[in-house]
Amino acid sequence: MGSLFDTLYDILFQPLIAMKNIGEQKPISQAVIVFLSSIVLPIWALYFGLKMIDMPEIVNVVIAIKVVSGIMIWVMGSAIWHLIAEFFGGRGSAVGLFAALGFVYIPWIFIIPLWALTTLMPTSSKVLLMTISVLAVLLWSLYLHVIAIKEVHQLSTATSVLVMLTPMLFVGLICVISFIFIGSAITHMPMGL
Amino acid sequence: MYKKSVVIVIGIVILLSLIGLAFRGGSKAKVNQTEKIAIIYVEGVIIGGRGQSNMFVEQGGTDQVIKQLHAAQEDDSVKAVILRINSPGGSAAASQEVGVEIKKLRAKGKVVVTSMGDVAASGGYWLAACTDKIYANSTTMTGSIGVYVPYANWEELYKKIGIYQEKIKSGAHKDILSPERPMTSEERAIIQVMVDDIYEQFVAVVAEGRKMDAQEVRKLADGRIYTGNQAKQLGLVDELGNMYDAIDGTAQLAGISGKPEIKEYGKQSPWNMLFGANEQASSLLEKVIFNQARNALNSAAPAEISPDKWQVK
């Protein structure tokens, strides 16, 4: 494994090779540094960005959600995706996937220059541009998730997408079933006064 | 080496963006620092204490209003405060406590303006009288300058349902206002002196705040309510208008040029929405009826006649 600079360059410009190397060499310390930087630095942008569009009241909630969800998705996501990947025939290691998923948050750092650019735009288009930049970064990050699962577990792209989406589909399914049961219970509840 | 250089350049761009964002955000905050008008809501019955509270939020009760006034006083970015009053009154002590805090705020050089909603009567008017300027709608119910102590004699009812109470008193007047016996003339005189004392304090507050002669205030302060229109003619209100008129007027009074930034105190935060006691969920009328009934019970029935002390024979 090369230096952190080499890994970062590869993640940005040749993610397939980078994720394969990370999966094999499991650079946990580098992953932790990158993960923390990818979470902490954009929070600064988030703080000033939300203040700029006059939404300071949601700053604390958004920051709390971002930090907690980031850590939970990294740690728990690694375990869950590893299990699902093994079900789908994956052959990678859990530690390798954990290290690779530490690097998938790098795109969030680019929210800083993107939001800095939006400050130069007219006020009316600020919210739209900020939303577009968040969506772009989110898609990039999701793409890195798929690449990480694919390269670490040596699965096809389609299977990797399925592995990544399975927990979400499972949660969605539980919500739908719960909704059906709760709805059914409510409609059968005696409503007399 | 090439990879390292590219990553370093990207790092520098990100760092510069971060500094740029900090400056942009900071400069915006600085511009706004001296241009804010705070809005503080006084809603429902004015009653002392913390109101409803849970693990995350605390609302209702004058302690919260006092905290907000104090926060506005400490906040250098707040140049003026609008007190949005929608209250039929309440406890004299609680009104006085808030009134004192309003005066402290004004002493700090901040403009305080009242915007009356549906009702700003009695204790609500006490607070309004402590501010620099009063805005009311022409149909707002205001006035009701006066004091009363409620008293109910439930003696006959208690006899009918077989409730008897015995008291061991430390003094003759310890159970004054007890609902299970008639009030004596001596007790009536004691309460009347108290009512008169509070009334005179109320008149003094209105006279000082409205820059009126105390005798002139006494003529208006027979307890009656006035419409906003009548109140303006009598000098109890300065201007007729809604909250936005009050905001414009406050901005002028405070010398804020351009559109002022509004800072609402007691606004529903996401925590309030998720876990808070929702004051707005119940109507003002419900709150007034509930709190008045509670006040009447509290005043008329001292703690020593609480149900656990009753004897059913």
Q: Nearest Cα to B151, choosing from B207, B124, B121, B190?
A: B190
Distance from CA of A116 to the nearest CA of B (A): 6
Tokens of A39: 């979470």
Q: What is the pLDDT of residue A1?
A: 56
Catalytic residue among B87, B91, B95, B122: B122
Q: What is the pLDDT averaged over residues A7-17?
A: 89
Q: What is the pLDDT averaged over residues A8-20?
A: 89
Q: What is the pLDDT of residue B3?
A: 81
Q: What is the pLDDT of residue B272?
A: 53
A58: which chain B residues are within 8 Å (Cβ-Cβ)? Answer: 270
The Cα–Cα gap between A77 and A148 comes to: 12
Q: What is the pLDDT of residue B199?
A: 96
Widest distance between CA atoms in chain B = 100
What number is the ipTM of this complex? Answer: 0.77
Distance from CA of B2 to the nearest CA of A (A): 9
Is B122 marked active-site?
yes
The residues with which B52 forms a beta bridge, in sequence order, are B59
CB–CB contact A51 B24 (8 Å): no
- Least trusted range by pLDDT, from A27-41, A174-188, B29-43: B29-43
Q: Which of B7, B16, B267 should we substitute to test contact with A (largest number of A Cβ atoms within 10 Å)?
A: B7
Tokens of B98: 């808030």
B270: which chain A residues are within 8 Å (Cβ-Cβ)? Answer: 57-58, 61
Q: What is the pLDDT of residue A180?
A: 87
Range list of H helices, chain A: 4-13, 15-25, 28-52, 59-87, 94-102, 111-118, 123-153, 157-187
Taking only residues 254 to 283 of chain B, the set having a beta carbon closer than 8 angstroms to any beta carbon of chain A reads 267, 269-271
The Cα–Cα gap between B32 and B234 comes to: 38
Query: What are the per-10-residue average pLDDT scores of chain B (313 residues)?
Result: 85 86 62 76 88 54 90 91 94 94 94 96 96 96 94 92 90 91 94 96 96 95 95 96 95 89 73 48 46 46 35 39
pLDDT digits (tens, 9 = 90+) for A82-139: 999 999 998 888 999 999 999 998 998 888 888 888 877 777 777 788 888 889 999 9
Strands B239-240 and B133-136: parallel
* Residue B232 parent element (H or E): helix B228-234
Q: What is the pLDDT of residue B25?
A: 60
**A61 has a pLDDT exceeding 90:** no
Residues of chain A whose beta carbon is less than 8 angstroms from a beta carbon of chain B are: 2-3, 5-6, 8-10, 12, 41, 44-45, 47-49, 51-52, 57-58, 61, 109-110, 112-113, 115-117, 119
Q: What is the pLDDT of residue B22?
A: 75
- Name the pTM for this structure: 0.58
Q: What is the pLDDT of residue B252?
A: 93
